Structure 1
Amino acid sequence: MSIAPSVRTAPAGRIGRDPFFDNAKFLAITLVVSGHLIEDLRDVAVAHAAYSYVYVFHMPLFIVLSGYLSRNFTFSSGKARKLISALAVPYVLFELAYSLPRLVLYGKLEISLLDPYYLTWFLMSLFLWRLSTPVWQQLRWPLAVAVGLSLLSGTSALPDELSMNRTLGLLPFYVLGLMLRPEHFELLRRRGVRIAGAVTLAAGAVSALAVHGSVKTEWIRWRHANEAIGVDDLTGSLIRLGLLAAGALLVAAFLAVTPSRRTWYSGLGAATMYAYLLHGFVVKAAERFYGDWAATPPGVAVVAASGVGLAALLCSPPVRRAARWAVEPRMDWAFTRLRRPG
């Protein structure tokens, strides 16, 4: 999503994007899109299992990558301006845009820029995580502190403003990304690790099929405190710790099987923010037209598979040109001129 481009030195000495990260981002956005497309079909057991499985790690994956590619964030003028134009302004625009379908479909117009609606929570949380980057880089045990804050957030009835439950609950994945180094990703590309990753993903899918009916969906959404989900704080903290561990394991497994070579979708992976912010309109419209055919295992498979095509379409150059004004707005006119050193 709003993830800065990664760079590496190409054989010819040119600087270019690493297709590994673009591949990972595109594959991850297909999980997000497909997950949202089948969300309204969860009365079908296979849809509920797939939804539960994907939600354990699809956003943690994006958050880990966001953290890794935010390692160089500072409060310099250029970085601060990019933070405003890439996250703050799109957040305001899409928070307003997503309020309009609610008005048309449900007759409600509720606009609160501090209380993110639907997909926009990620922009709010990523904005806050990026701001906190220098703090985590100064701590000796940043991941332990982040996990502690995540567990403590489940013991309190936090306000919806600033997406506090998700911002604190999912914080360890961002901090984990900040701690990763290129050699960690190289380790994931070893043959043995790739095989283990595939086995882990398969085992996770089988486990989801076995237990999805007994796990409350709110655990994987990170939106509420332990009490609101119906457990005491000790039980809730253990469940949250287990979800953090499972999410990290599945993220590593997913990255291990991600191709490192250039693929047909590598170029699309550079524009996943478009698919993320735009697909919600398609999902909300599609849900109104699902027929009985969709509420069957074959129908769920078709709907989920269509997520790949929708994600590719929304990342395509024509869509990017049409929506750039909102997703990647040019804000030079709003800033003072940068002072050049010397």
Structure 2
Amino acid sequence: MPSPRSPQSTQKKKQNGKQRDAFFDNAKYLAIVLVAMGHAWEPLKSDSRILEAAYQLVYAFHMPAFIIISGYFSRSFDMRPDRLKRLITGVAVPYIIFETAYPLFKRVIDNDPHQEISLLDPWYLTWFLVALFVWRLTTPIWNLVRRPLPLALGLAMLATVTPEIGDDLDLQRVLQFLPFFVLGLVMKPEHFHMVRTNAVRIASVPVFAVALAFSWWAVPRMNTAWFYHRDSAQELGAPWWTGPVMVLAMFGCSLVLTACFFAWVPRRHMWFTALGAGTLYGYLLHGFLVKAGDYRGWFEASWLHHPAGEIAVTALAAAVVTVLCTKPVQRVFRFAMEPKMAWAFKRDAAELARERQNAERRARESEREREKVNA
């Protein structure tokens, strides 16, 4: 999803004298709000064709947008020790923690003592961490090959006709969403500038309107599971050849809608810009509230299944995920999301050499200061 600490950017407020790019932080925050809204709509959408259409529209581009940004900020990833450490502490360790926490949460809240814990079967939201780990590890390969995007599309198309892949590590999603990550890897800053023009912004309005109308028409005619990218064509009860066709069709539709989304993302600093750095927190934590509502029957209240209730749920989901991206929440849960874990790693030889050089330099400077004082 979200874009946990990228190798280029555990970016602080300033890096090399430059401010963080507000556009990307704004895009990540708005995308995570759409993710939370979509999850809140899921228990309600069966009663509303309009809500189902909006759900399909949002699912067509919100994760692709997140994944493209994740790929863009993974461009410089290599096997350098410090970057591998960040990959482990910022992606692999949170996966293990939350892949354990979600089933335990279900045991307690849903009174289900038989809920199993399995690191091979990503639970609910944790599939993204598995996917990001695999994608980022393979980044040097995508940077090496001559035509990375067509290759990634080919792998995604093959995945949709291979039900034998199974559910382990959600590899169907890893492969089917792969083209968006690879697209982010090959994108340059000017590509984002191309969609942030007034012309594209104006054109995006009728494009979204047509897409929503098409979604409304497609609700009774199309299986929503295609948008999850987690099953092969055969598993969805479709002929095998529809898998590759749907990969290309949905990739094209998702790119158009993602471009329209990026066109409306503010370029300047907004009140929510700083929250873009905490989207991984909002992504992983809001799932507990959504699942608690599902287990406890909160979504069964009859008033929620009317327009006013659906609007209230939408607003509440946006507000909750906003709070979960804030600095206080980040401080509380940093132990799980961004653990230091210095104890787990060997000291890098280059780092040790730099420390010795710095110590020697400080010693020489101190010696010169003493000589000046004595003189």
TM-score (norm 1): 0.95
- The one-letter amino acid of 1:25's match is K
2: CA distance between counterparts of 1:252 and 1:320?
A: 30
Partner of 2:62: 58
1: CA distance between counterparts of 2:172 and 2:231?
A: 6
Residues 26-37 of structure 1 mapped to structure 2, 5 A cutoff:
26-37=29-40
Partner of 1:93: 97
Superposition deviation, residue 299 in structure 1:
1.3
| Structure 2: segments with no counterpart, 5+ residues | 354-375
Structure 2 residue 145 is matched with structure 1 residue 144: no
2: CA distance between counterparts of 1:149 and 1:109?
A: 33
Partner of 1:134: 140
Residues 3-18 of structure 1 mapped to structure 2, 5 A cutoff:
3-4=5-6, 5=9, 14-18=17-21
- The one-letter amino acid of 1:309's match is A
Residues 1-342 of structure 1 mapped to structure 2, 5 A cutoff:
1=2, 2-4=4-6, 5=9, 14-44=17-47, 45-104=49-108, 105=110, 106-157=112-163, 158-287=165-294, 288-290=297-299, 291-340=301-350
Aligned 8 A contact 2:159 2:176 in 1: yes
Aligned 8 A contact 1:6 1:17 in 2: no
Could you say what secondary structure the match of 1:224 adopts? coil
2: CA distance between counterparts of 1:202 and 1:275?
A: 29
- The one-letter amino acid of 2:144's match is Q
1: CA distance between counterparts of 2:286 and 2:54?
A: 19
Aligned 8 A contact 2:204 2:263 in 1: yes
Aligned 8 A contact 1:193 1:256 in 2: yes
1: CA distance between counterparts of 2:343 and 2:32?
A: 32
Superposition deviation, residue 73 in structure 1:
0.2
Aligned 8 A contact 1:156 1:225 in 2: yes
- 1:157-199: CA deviations, max 9, x gaps? 1121121100001110000000100011111122112212333
Aligned 8 A contact 1:63 1:173 in 2: yes
Larger Rg: 2
Could you say what secondary structure the match of 2:290 adopts? helix
Q: Are the structure 2 counterparts of residues 164 and 13 from structure 1 closer, same or farther at C-alpha, using a change threshold of 3 Å?
A: closer
1: CA distance between counterparts of 2:36 and 2:192?
A: 25
Cα RMSD after superposing both structures: 1.9
Q: Are the structure 2 counterparts of residues 8 and 99 from structure 1 closer, same or farther at C-alpha, using a change threshold of 3 Å?
A: closer
Aligned 8 A contact 1:85 1:330 in 2: yes
Identical aligned residues as a percent = 42
Higher relative contact order (CA 8 A, sep 6+): 1
Superposition deviation, residue 280 in structure 1:
0.4
1: CA distance between counterparts of 2:95 and 2:204?
A: 35
1: CA distance between counterparts of 2:246 and 2:171?
A: 19
- The one-letter amino acid of 2:23's match is F
2: CA distance between counterparts of 1:13 and 1:141?
A: 32
1: CA distance between counterparts of 2:198 and 2:12?
A: 22
2: CA distance between counterparts of 1:250 and 1:178?
A: 19
2: CA distance between counterparts of 1:13 and 1:323?
A: 28
2: CA distance between counterparts of 1:329 and 1:214?
A: 46
- The one-letter amino acid of 2:298's match is F
Superposition deviation, residue 267 in structure 1:
0.2
2: CA distance between counterparts of 1:294 and 1:95?
A: 30
Aligned 8 A contact 2:61 2:255 in 1: yes
- The one-letter amino acid of 2:323's match is L
| Structure 1: segments with no counterpart, 5+ residues | none
Aligned 8 A contact 2:64 2:177 in 1: yes
2: CA distance between counterparts of 1:199 and 1:7?
A: 36
